[in-house]
């Protein structure tokens, strides 16, 4: 095996045993990026020199016998809405195309301190608004399993980078499914932590009450290792919660015996792709065979989740994106007066989907409509949270499909925003409730595309989700960790 083919956990072992150097590991991924990136387009900004410098520093420290973190020397990619000091952070938007933050996000500061080389900033839907990475102002990212398909969104660049072996780990952000959905489409493990579990300081805001940073990886163990790094209280984030951080790798081998599993009726519905439903139920059978107690559960407010989400998230986006006016930082289109400058700047530099959500949110918050729309949506959100609280009195983990369909073709839904929004129908209620949720691969469909199973647990139960995911991975004998990337002109690598 080549180094880029290893999981993060295996790379960690090789580095700690000094069987390879961090420079060798990073160079393997940089070579892979050079080969694959022209076809997949996962990255917005490449940082090879920075990655090699960080790797050299780790190697020097290791040679001196310094005690290092297990992930020291293991490289990582970071979604381009997470601030990086001195390095362009665009949110895949023209309005921030040349923006260079003066500070690091807390998660970035942490991974740098631990010695994790940064391979680059990954592509995404503009300001994280989308489900396909087609809304990037620069270019769409392709699904590594089929270049004609989307990788999911909005963390599609991070997912595609890990899936193709261009990075062993990546950070994404999840507002209404933006980690879990691309994880499903690209055959990865993707975890949205409990709201408040991971610091949002330095995450450029889309919807502040929903946004959360989390890992994308090949395995549950890799995600657990990264969660050990990024979790915890942060005084710089007023929404971070002072909850003790466990060792997420400690319980991965425990199995699922006697766990109470609830199959969410609404997430294996008749309208879903039948192959996905069948794959989810096959995974449920594996859990039952190992001693888990399985029963069906209904979350009645699920049908109202989509409407509530697409009022709350755009409303918060309307507020958060008001700061991009061309005056303080970012693109400035100029104009004869201040109103003309604002209009030209925002009109030219925001993409269609961002404009659509700003308009929806501004309308929902406007005088005379606030009570009818935004306030009602917040009441529904409270009821959705109560649905989950009731379900968790009976069950340890809730399961269902991550997505209603496999990855769709690039361009298939761009002219129909409602169909695009429906791509997140399985994910948004977890986000509204603020509970942790994880997508784990559960099979390959008849045309060779990955399918994902979503696991949801009570707040701060990320370890439980990772344990169930690890169990399912042990049973995974029916498809590879990564695809063979097929070149458009023929052949593969």
Q: What is the DSSP letter of 198?
A: B
- Domain of 56, CATH number, reads 3.90.1300.10
CB 111 within 8 A of CB 399: no
The pLDDT of residue 329: 84
Q: What is the pLDDT of residues 213-230, one digit of tens each?
A: 999 999 999 999 999 999
CB 243 within 8 A of CB 458: no
Q: 385: how many CB neighbours lie within 10 A of its CB?
A: 16
DSSP string, 394-424: T-SEEEEES-SSSPPBTTSSTT-HHHHHGGG
Among 79, 121, 413, 467, which one carries the catalytic annotation?
A: 79
Residue 113 — pLDDT band, cuts 50, 70, 90?
Answer: very high
115 phi-psi bin (left φ>0, alpha ψ -120 to 50, beta other)? left
> How many Cα atoms are found within 13 Å in the side-chain-facing hemisphere of 381?
20
Q: Token digits for 451?
A: 């399918």
205/267 Cα distance (integer angstroms): 28
Q: What is the pLDDT of residues 206-217, one digit of tens each?
A: 999 999 999 999
Among 154, 315, 437, 461, which one carries the catalytic annotation?
A: 154
Backbone angles phi, psi at 240, to 5 degrees: -70, 140
406/274 Cα distance (integer angstroms): 10
pLDDT of 478 above 70 = no
Per-residue b or e along 203-224, where b marks 16 or more CB atoms closer than 10 Å to that residue's CB:
bbbbbbbbbbbbbbbbbbbbbb
- Integer-rounded Cα Rg, in Å, for the chain is 21
**Rounded mean pLDDT, 463-475:** 96
CB 214 within 8 A of CB 173: yes
Q: Token digits for 211?
A: 């946004």
**Rounded mean pLDDT, 96-115:** 98
358/382 Cα distance (integer angstroms): 24
**Rounded mean pLDDT, 200-207:** 98
Q: What is the pLDDT of residues 358-388, one digit of tens each?
A: 999 999 999 889 999 999 999 999 999 999 9
The angle that helices 22-40 and 8-16 make with each other, rounded to 10 degrees, is: 160
Asked which of 7-11, 76-80, 320-324, 486-490 is least confident by mean pLDDT, the reply is 486-490
317/358 Cα distance (integer angstroms): 6
Q: What is the pLDDT of residues 129-169, one digit of tens each?
A: 999 999 999 999 999 999 999 999 999 999 999 999 999 99
Among 178, 217, 231, 437, which one carries the catalytic annotation?
A: 178
The pLDDT of residue 479: 67
207/365 Cα distance (integer angstroms): 14
pLDDT of 484 above 90 = no
Nearest Cα to 191, choosing from 165, 161, 166, 228?
Answer: 228
Q: Which domain holds residue 42?
A: 1-493
Which residues, including other chains, have CB under 8 Å from residue 328's CB and lie 6 or more apart?
A: none
Mean pLDDT of the chain: 96
Q: What is the pLDDT of residues 415-448, one digit of tens each?
A: 999 899 999 999 999 999 999 999 999 999 999 9
Q: CB burial class (10 A; 0-12, 13-18, 19+) of residue 103?
A: middle
Q: 189: how many CB neighbours lie within 10 A of its CB?
A: 29
Nearest Cα to 121, choosing from 142, 97, 143?
Answer: 97
Residue 469 — pLDDT band, cuts 50, 70, 90?
Answer: very high
Q: Tell me the whole-structure pTM to 2 decimals.
A: 0.97
Q: Which residue has the tokens 């489900």?
A: 131
pLDDT of 488 above 90 = no
Q: Token digits for 75?
A: 């490289």
Q: What percent of the chain clears pLDDT 70, i.e. is strictly above it? A: 99
The pLDDT of residue 45: 98
Q: What percent of the chain clears pLDDT 90, i.e. is strictly above it? A: 92
Q: Decide if 154 is catalytic.
A: yes
Q: What is the pLDDT of residues 285-322, one digit of tens each?
A: 999 999 999 999 999 999 999 999 999 999 999 999 99
Nearest Cα to 283, choosing from 256, 305, 307, 258?
Answer: 256
91/77 Cα distance (integer angstroms): 14
The pLDDT of residue 108: 98
Number of domains in the chain: 1
The pLDDT of residue 1: 87
323/328 Cα distance (integer angstroms): 8
Stronger pLDDT, 226 or 326, i.e. the higher one: 226
The pLDDT of residue 367: 87
């Amino acid at each position: 095996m080549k180094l880029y083919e290893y999981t993060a956990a295996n790379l960690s072992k090789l580095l700690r045993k000094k069987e390879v150097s961090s420079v060798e590991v990073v160079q393997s991924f940089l070579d892979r990026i050079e080969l694959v990136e022209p076809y997949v387009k996962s990255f917005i900004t490449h940082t090879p020199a920075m990655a090699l410098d960080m790797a050299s520093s780790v190697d020097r420290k290791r040679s001196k016998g310094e005690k290092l973190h297990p992930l020291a020397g293991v490289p990582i990619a970071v979604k381009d809405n997470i601030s990086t000091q001195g390095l362009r952070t665009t949110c895949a938007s023209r309005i921030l195309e040349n923006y260079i933050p003066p500070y690091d996000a807390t998660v970035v500061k942490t991974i740098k301190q631990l010695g994790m080389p940064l391979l680059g900033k990954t592509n995404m839907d503009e300001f994280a608004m989308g489900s396909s990475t087609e809304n990037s102002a620069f270019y769409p990212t392709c699904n590594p399993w089929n270049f004609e398909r989307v990788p999911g969104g909005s963390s599609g660049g991070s997912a595609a980078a890990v899936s193709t072996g261009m990075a062993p780990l990546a950070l994404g952000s999840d507002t209404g499914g933006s980690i879990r959905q691309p994880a499903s489409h690209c055959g990865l493990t993707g975890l949205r932590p409990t709201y408040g579990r991971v610091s949002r300081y330095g995450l450029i805001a889309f919807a502040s009450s929903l946004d959360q940073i989390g890992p994308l990886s090949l395995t549950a163990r890799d995600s657990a290792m990264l969660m050990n790094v990024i979790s915890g209280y942060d005084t710089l984030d007023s929404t971070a919660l002072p909850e003790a951080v466990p060792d997420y790798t400690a319980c991965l081998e425990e199995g699922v015996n006697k766990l109470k599993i609830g199959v969410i009726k609404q997430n294996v519905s008749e309208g879903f792709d039948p192959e996905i439903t069948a794959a989810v139920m096959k995974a449920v059978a594996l859990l039952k065979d190992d001693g888990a107690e399985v029963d069906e559960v209904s979350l009645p407010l699920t049908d109202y989740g989509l409407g509530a989400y697409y009022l709350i998230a755009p409303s918060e986006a309307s507020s958060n994106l008001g700061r991009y006016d061309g005056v303080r930082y970012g693109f400035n289109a100029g104009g004869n007066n201040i109103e003309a400058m604002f209009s030209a700047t925002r009109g030219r530099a925001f993409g269609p989907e961002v404009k659509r959500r700003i308009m929806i949110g501004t309308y929902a918050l406007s005088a005379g409509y606030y009570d009818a729309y935004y306030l009602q949506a917040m009441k529904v959100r409270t009821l959705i949270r109560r649905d989950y609280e009731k379900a968790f009195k009976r069950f340890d983990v809730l399961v269902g499909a991550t997505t209603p369909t496999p990855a769709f073709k690039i361009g298939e839904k761009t002219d129909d925003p409602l169909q695009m929004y429906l791509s997140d129908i399985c994910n948004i209620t977890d986000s509204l409730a603020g509970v942790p949720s994880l997508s784990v691969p559960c099979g390959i469909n008849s045309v060779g595309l990955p399918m994902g199973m979503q696991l949801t647990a009570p707040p701060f139960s990320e370890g439980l989700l990772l344990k169930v995911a690890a169990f399912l991975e042990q049973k995974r004998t029916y498809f590879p960790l990564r695809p063979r990337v097929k070149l458009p002109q023929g052949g593969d690598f």
